[in-house]
Amino acid sequence: MTINILHLYPKEMNLYGDHGNILSIIRRCEWRGIKTNVIHYEPGDKLPEKVDIIFGGGGQDSGQGKIEKDLAKIGPWLKDKIEHDTPALLICGLYQLAGHYFETSEGQKIEGCNIIDITTIGGPTRLIGNITINTPEFGEVVGYENHSGLTKLGEDALPFGTVTSGAGNNGQDFTEGVRYHNCIGTYLHGPLLPKNPRITDFLIKKALENQTGKIQSLKPLNDQIELRAHKVAAKRPR
- Catalytic, out of 92, 113, 147, 230: 92
Cβ atoms of 54 and 82 closer than 8 Å: yes
- Catalytic, out of 29, 113, 147, 189: 189
189 is catalytic: yes
CA distance 208 to 63: 32
92 is catalytic: yes
Query: Which DSSP string do the residues of the chain spell out, in sequence order?
Result: -EEEEEEE-TTTS--TTTHHHHHHHHHHHHTTT-EEEEEEE-TTPPPPS--SEEEE----HHHHHHHHHHHHHHHHHHHHHHHTT--EEEETHHHHHTSSEEE-TTSPEEE---SSSEEEEEEEEEEEEEEEEEETTTEEEEEEEEEEEEEEE-TT-B-SEEEEES-TTTSSS-EESEEETTEEEE--BS-SGGG-HHHHHHHHHHHHHHHHSS---PPP---HHHHHHHHHHHHS--
Q: Which residues are catalytic?
A: 92, 189
